[in-house]
Amino acid sequence: MQAELQITQQNAHTLNRPSLLAPAGNWECAKAAVENGADAIYFGLDKFNARMRAENFTEADLPELMEFLHSRGVKGYVTLNTLIFPQELREAEKYLRTIISAGVDAVIVQDIGICRLIRHISEDFPIHASTQMTITSEVGVEFAQELGCNLVVLARECSLSEISKIQNRMQYRGATLPLEVFVHGALCVAYSGQCLTSEALGGRSANRGECAQACRMPYEMVVDGEVLNLKDKKYLLSPQDLAGLSVLPDLVKSGASCLKIEGRLKAPEYVANVTRVYREALDKLMEAPEEEIVENTSKEEEYNLEMAFSRGLYTGWFRGINNQELVHAKFGKKRGVYLGRVKRVNNEEVVVKLEAPLKPGDGIVFDNGHPEVKEEGGRVYAVQQQGKDTVISFGRGNINWRRIYIGDKLWKTSDPELDKQVRQSYAGDIPQFQRPLDIEVHGESGVCLGAVCRDEIGNIVLVESSVPLETARNKPLTQEKLEEQFGRLGNTPFKLGNLTNNLKGEVIVPVSELNRMRRDIVAKLEEQRAKPKRWQLKANASLKDLLPTRQVETRLFPAGHYVNASLPSVSLIVLVRNLEQLQTALNAGIETVYCEFEDPKKYREAVEIVKSNNIRRDAIIPCGTLRERVSTPTTIFVAPPRITKPGENWILQQVRACNADGYLIRNYDHLQFFANDRCIGDFSLNVANPLTADYFKNNFGLERLTASYDLNINQLEDLLTTSPPNWYEVTIHQHMPMFHMEHCVFCAFLSDGKDFRDCGRPCEKHEVKLRDRVGSEHILQADLGCRNTVFNATAQTGAEYVQRLIELGLQSFRIEFVNEKPEEVAQIIQNYQQLLQGKITGSQLWRQLKLQNQLGVTRGTVARS
């Protein structure tokens, strides 16, 4: 720790300039980013990216796009940040070869298997670990580094303190991977890569780029069976937008190497506006003396950011957790700049005490506390001062005045003048944002003038005069003259940075020769920059080299199905979330139980209950002179919390202290902490293809892997036929864990506290559900780290597909409970036992339990094509 402290102190006095990464959904957005100072852009193609609703580029665009970006000194990263299914791997391999050949600077990846595939076909092509990989600690960074990644995008939930700790601990352990941090844009309430809400509610997976934004919808809070009156607070899961401008100095000090702006679904005006604000702020920060660095946001910067897009701007988790401020809960859509409240309404005019500038032509909306319905608004026709108040009038017929009330809030949603200025920043073909060139000149009388030029990204060119320097009788080449001539870089992507004059004596060369040299410098640099990156690409390496051997005998039945020649016995695994459910599972004879409790201290009691139960079940009964075992003892695995942050190893120690038979592995920290224990990989590892499965199974020795909840029945079949089926278990009954989030709903709306230190722990006193617009009441639970999970109100089953999965060799089936009473648990367990014993069919079970007929589908209910 002393060494860590020393590193922290050293870093406090060293500011390295982070790069600025901007989003681009199309060509216009790419130009907007480049012309406003982005160092790199990230963009999706038409497949495998987490913003499938964006316009996106195509593979055919890549050569031209990369040439444009590189000629302007900007890098381009392709987002391939979704899970990849087994039958998509071959297409993904071709896709990757195209991306690498086009000279793309990096690819942003979520899927572990795709990271492996990239590193197999190219040893040097850069891989950036997406925020979808849910990396929240230095152990996660090391995992990414061992996987072959070159940069890690941290989870948005990491605070400044945690980012610094991760950076310092990496240095202490000898790791060197750069860290990228989101600095601005929309905040997902759930951890990226751990949100199954769109999947559960509509078959549109966020892990497949199809997020339906259920977090932006209104919810009612049902506390102990009664709806809590929260007045105008309905959007309980909709965070304000992230704005890290005010903490920019601390972000730079934290060691982040790249600052990322969210927004691939946004317009080019947004990209231009936000990029320019952060570019200018970052440049000012890097140029300012250390003693003058302060956390500050000007009114103009704040105005520009709010007009670009705003659900309210907030520093997110950078300053730590503040559940009272992160989610204001009053709306979940764009607002803009707050203007004030309506004081009077008369003659189709409103009187307001303005809190922000307003002019004719601006667009406004009236907010009466019901953002879920159509709101009144329109263009301002006239603005007149009336003492301290302002009278605002609109075009005739534009506003339904019967829906406007005293007290309504006014928001400025559009500023055409600002939009015009922003659009001008990237209009036309002449470069408007110029990057500095550093030039050194050398020479003396009788030899040619030499100019060595370097750009920001490391390109270097040498240009010499065609005639030798002469001794100057008057007007020799001075610093000012050289800067004047070499600085004439208008209409180019360059501007003069530092010019170092190393000339010996007073010499001169014709001005025309200086102009020619300057033009040659520009031409040579542009030629050098436009060359595509040449990454290594192994022609003979292919996907099939990485695919595991299935190692299961099959025979072809007349129906056309492959079935195991010798079907092994199948097992039913039960996950419980309290001690009563555990006892019920034991009474039902379950041989493998998983416990996921809010308080891991109760795991010790759970283990004792199982051991005591085993002693009873292991009773020896006399049978003549023989003694025989009555049944197989129950094995108990316990689950640590899904997220682990720096300083939270005490939770893992508390989990291990229960001395369970094994542990559910849910993140990269668990892989390391429980490396010497029996372990099962849980669904949160997002195992969706055989390459990912092989990595976890064989690199970490996991006994089994839980198949991703993003897989439908067809994709599960593909997984089981492309790798050994005994690697897996499949959850066939559960309340889907939809949102898993740092935001604590209990704290935010059942207390006045900011976090666990002052909230009074309402999660331990109340049963809470979130009622959505169709009346479904989704179950809310907290874990020991105060992170909340919202479970789908309706349980779902894959019972109808169990027989097919058994035929394919699957042996392990899991069912999960949340808040079911013991009698419900007993009945459900009995039904699934009968199903696996062949006593009832899946259709009969489904009808009996009246469950949603769904099994982790990507689109809609499970349907076999």
- 80-126 pLDDT, tens digit per residue, is 999 999 999 999 999 999 999 999 999 999 999 999 999 999 999 99
For 425-462, letters b (16+ CB in 10 Å) and e give bbeeeebebbbebebebbbeeeeebbbbbbbeeebebe
Q: Which residue has the higher pLDDT, 291 or 43?
A: 43
Residue 302 CA, chain-centre distance (Å), reads 25
Assess whether pLDDT exceeds 90 at residue 264: no
pLDDT confidence of residue 854:
53
Q: What's the rounded mean pLDDT across residues 710-737? A: 95
What is the spatial distance between Cα 570 and Cα 811, in angstroms, rounded to a whole number?
4
CA-CA-CA-CA dihedral for 212, 216, 222, 226, to nearest 10: -120
pLDDT confidence of residue 12:
40
Residue 551 CA, chain-centre distance (Å), reads 36
pLDDT confidence of residue 195:
87
pLDDT confidence of residue 265:
86
Domains 2-187+240-294 and 566-738+792-853 share a fold: yes
Q: What is the assigned CATH class of domain 2-187+240-294?
A: alpha beta
Calculate the average pLDDT of the chain: 90
pLDDT confidence of residue 565:
38
- Is pTM beyond 0.85? Reply is yes
What is the DSSP track for 230-294? -TT---TT-PPEEE-GGGHHHHHHTT-SEEEE--TTS-HHHHHHHHHHHHHHHHHHHHS-GGG--
What is the spatial distance between Cα 69 and Cα 372, in angstroms, rounded to a whole number?
41
Assess whether pLDDT exceeds 60 at residue 332: yes
Residue 570 CA, chain-centre distance (Å), reads 37
pLDDT confidence of residue 50:
66
What is the spatial distance between Cα 418 and Cα 416, in angstroms, rounded to a whole number?
5
Helix (H) or strand (E) holding 30: helix 27-35
Q: Is 292 exposed, middle or buried (0-12, 13-18, 19+ CB in 10 A)?
A: exposed
Q: Is 812 exposed, middle or buried (0-12, 13-18, 19+ CB in 10 A)?
A: buried
Q: Which residue has the higher pLDDT, 849 or 79?
A: 79
Question: Under a CB-based contact definition with an 8 Å cutoff, are residues 89 and 691 in contact?
Answer: yes
Assess whether pLDDT exceeds 80 at residue 74: yes
What is the spatial distance between Cα 688 and Cα 205, in angstroms, rounded to a whole number?
13
Domain boundaries, the chain: 2-187+240-294, 336-424, 435-530, 566-738+792-853
* Token duo for residue 231: 């007045």
Contacts of 397 (CB under 8 A, 6+ apart): none
Number of residues assigned to the chain? 865
pLDDT confidence of residue 551:
67
336-424 maps to CATH 1.10.540: no
φ, ψ dihedrals at 587, nearest 5°:
-65, -30
Q: What is the assigned CATH class of domain 566-738+792-853?
A: alpha beta
pLDDT confidence of residue 4:
44
* Token duo for residue 554: 């099959």
What is the DSSP track for 335-402? --EEEEEEEEEETTEEEE--SS---TT-EEEEE-S-TTS---EEEEEEEEEETTEEEEEE-TTSS-GG
pLDDT, tens digit, 9 for 90 and up, residues 347-376? 889 999 999 999 999 999 999 999 989 999
Diameter of the chain by CA atoms?
A: 125
Using pLDDT thresholds of 50, 70 and 90, give the confidence band for residue 489. Answer: very high
Q: Which residue has the higher pLDDT, 673 or 530?
A: 673
- Rg, the chain, Cα only: 31
**Which residue has 């790798």 as its token pair?**
723
Assess whether pLDDT exceeds 60 at residue 623: no
Assess whether pLDDT exceeds 50 at residue 864: no
What is the spatial distance between Cα 670 and Cα 678, in angstroms, rounded to a whole number?
12
Using pLDDT thresholds of 50, 70 and 90, give the confidence band for residue 289. Answer: low
The DSSP code for 647 is: T
